[in-house]
Structure 1
Amino acid sequence: MTGLSKSGTERAAKREADRALLQRRWVEIERPRLKRAVLAEVERRVLTSFMNDTRWRELREAVETLPFPPVFQRQDVLGPREPLWACDQMSCLGDWSHEGLEPFFMIEWIRVVPKLWAEQGRLLPMKQVGDCTVELREVLDRLRLPYREDARGFWIYGYAQADPSTLTEAPERAP
Structure 2
Amino acid sequence: MTNEDKYNLYNAVDLKGMTLFEKYKYLTENDADIVKLKKQIKKIVASKKLSSVMNDTKWLELQQGIETLPFPPAYNEKLVQWNEIKFRFSEIENEPAFLGDWSSFWEEGLPIFFTIEWLEIRPKHRKNIGRLVPPKILDETTELIQLLNKLNIPFEEEKGTIIIYGYK
Normalising to structure 2: TM-score of the pair? 0.76
Moved more, 108-117 or 93-102: 93-102
Aligned to 1:77: 80
**2:44 aligned residue (28, 41, 54):** 41
Q: Against the structure 1 CA distance between its residues 139 and 18, is the aligned structure 2 distance closer, same or farther, given a 3 Å change threshold?
A: closer
Aligned residue runs from structure 1 range 24-39, under 5 A: 27-39=30-42
Q: Against the structure 1 CA distance between its residues 92 and 28, is the aligned structure 2 distance closer, same or farther, given a 3 Å change threshold?
A: closer
AA aligned opposite 1:78? Q
Query: 2: distance between equivalents of 1:151 and 1:62?
Result: 23
Aligned residue runs from structure 1 range 25-174, under 5 A: 27-82=30-85, 83-85=87-89, 86=92, 88-99=94-105, 100-122=109-131, 125-128=134-137, 130-160=138-168
Q: Against the structure 1 CA distance between its residues 122 and 81, is the aligned structure 2 distance closer, same or farther, given a 3 Å change threshold?
A: farther
AA aligned opposite 1:115? K
AA aligned opposite 1:132? E
Aligned to 1:173: none
For the 8 Å contact 2:9–2:31, the answer to whether it is kept is no
Report the alpha carbon displacement of residue 150 of structure 1 after superposing the two structures with TM: 1.5
For the 8 Å contact 1:88–1:152, the answer to whether it is kept is no
Aligned length, in residue pairs: 144
Q: Against the structure 1 CA distance between its residues 87 and 110, is the aligned structure 2 distance closer, same or farther, given a 3 Å change threshold?
A: farther
For the 8 Å contact 1:76–1:108, the answer to whether it is kept is yes
Identity, in percent, stands at 37
Structure 2: 5+ residue stretches without partners:
12-26
Residue 109 of structure 1: SS of its match in structure 2?
strand
Q: Against the structure 1 CA distance between its residues 19 and 28, is the aligned structure 2 distance closer, same or farther, given a 3 Å change threshold?
A: closer
Structure 1: 5+ residue stretches without partners:
1-14, 161-175
